[in-house]
Structure 1
Amino acid sequence: MFTGIIESVGRLKQRTTQGQDARLVVRALWTVGDLPGVAMGDSVAVNGVCLTVVGFAPAENHVDLSFDVSHETLDKSSLGALNEAGVVNLERALRVGDRMGGHWVTGHVDAVGQRVEVLDRGQSWDISYRMPEVLEPELVAKGSICIDGVSLTVNRVWDQHFSVTIIPHTVKHTQLLEGQGIKTVNLETDIVGKYLRRFVDLGLQNADKGSLTLDKLMDSGFAGGD
């Protein structure tokens, strides 16, 4: 489990193909003093994708982390197109007692989207993204969205698009403004929204079967009379 508060940016140092899978070596700008929080088998979110540390090589001002990435993860996230020297957002898994500064992030990417517009507002940037239609019911204005591992607040939702606003601190400590033009990103919607959507879908399915009626809703206080 993660919070969407990025701890460091890193760069892809090496990519090795292993059949349909891959091993990624990411150079993280963590110091030796940070290493007690990184160990073999730990979970680290890389651009919002939960990966397991299978090797690490510390140096004085950085650490090289190795991850085995399955073909499923490569196909369903932007990691499949990540080139060497590509910049990634990194966050170690949440520990019991840590401050919860963002929102609950699982590291299980729902889909990829595209950054389609960036507007410079002076001391902030409005960014618009295009998303798959299936995600739109799970987004609401002022709700949460995780973009490449970064917890952000949704400004607007419209026609398979949504927008967010970021401040200079976010620009400095993440890679959200990296690259020019359209950019592919990993998207994870708020897990609370997923459960609510599932609950409503099941309710509608049961209504179609006749098990949920207006009378039952009224008896339960969910619907009133005239």
Structure 2
Amino acid sequence: MFTGIIEAVGTIKAININAQGARIDIATNSLDMSDVKLGDSIATNGICLTVVAFQSAAEQGSFSADVSNETLKRTGFGHYQVGKAVNLEKAMLASTRFGGHMVSGHVDGVSEILSITNNGNSWEYWLSMPSELSHYIAEKGSVTVDGTSLTVNSLAAGKFRLTIVPHTVKETVFSEYKIGSKVNLEVDLIARYLERLLTKEVTTEPVSNISESMLQKAGFIK
């Protein structure tokens, strides 16, 4: 689980394609890796990746992770190249300050930057809204863009608007975006589960082990 508050911007050092997907090496740059162990999770542009190796036993300035074919298909990872900057966030601790919102690291779809407009000391970004995700994205609700927790400021047909402050541009990969850039989207986790609870279909009658004879033996009925 993550919060969507980016801790550092890393760089993809290597991408090795294999039959199962890809093995990637990521330079973590300013990310504190002193408490990271093999098997830990690091959100990389919003994708939960498992650390499978370090550069060396003594040097943890980079890590390796395996990316499945499913991830390559459903996220922007399929188009990433060596040298690309990526947002990094270590998995949250129970004691972590919850500054963003609940982020699972499971990408729901890919969006495109449609426009970037300066507005005072901030920037207005319009992003495309995949039709299958539109009902999860609400005005003043939360959305994760390449791992960054952000607030949706307004909606229009097939798109939504974000207001990005200078700190976010400085501390994330937003400074790399251009019109046409593809970004990973994760919708609000609570909205996703609420939909499932409200629309689930019961396909079989619930089975109960309670019978009249059992209730009689337990003294509930005579």
- TM-score, normalised via structure 2 length: 0.86
Distance 1:9 1:74 in 2: 21
Structure index of larger Rg = 2
Q: Match for 1:194: what amino acid?
A: R
Is 1:56–2:59 an aligned residue pair? no
Distance 1:27 1:35 in 2: 11
Where 1:102 maps in the other structure, the secondary structure is coil
Q: Percent identity?
A: 42
Match of 1:111 in 2: 109
Q: Match for 1:160: what amino acid?
A: G
String of CA shifts for 1:182-212, please: whole Å, max 9, x gaps. Answer: 111000000111122223334xx68xxxxxx
Match of 1:211 in 2: none
Is 1:71–2:69 an aligned residue pair? yes
String of CA shifts for 1:7-64, please: whole Å, max 9, x gaps. Answer: 0001111111112510110111136xx2332111100000000000011126999711
Where 1:145 maps in the other structure, the secondary structure is strand
For the Cα contact (< 8 Å) 1:27–1:62, is it kept in 2? no
- TM-score, normalised via structure 1 length: 0.84
Distance 1:177 1:112 in 2: 18
Distance 2:196 2:117 in 1: 35
Is 1:168–2:166 an aligned residue pair? yes
Of the structure 1 ranges 177-186 and 119-128, higher mean CA displacement relative to structure 2 is found in 177-186
Q: Match for 1:55: what amino acid?
A: A
For the Cα contact (< 8 Å) 2:145–2:183, is it kept in 1? yes
String of CA shifts for 1:116-136, please: whole Å, max 9, x gaps. Answer: 111111310110100210111
Match of 1:21 in 2: 21
- Following superposition, the deviation at residue 75 of structure 1 comes to 0.6
Distance 2:84 2:158 in 1: 27
The two structures, once aligned, show a CA RMSD in angstroms of: 2.0
Q: Match for 2:97: what amino acid?
A: R
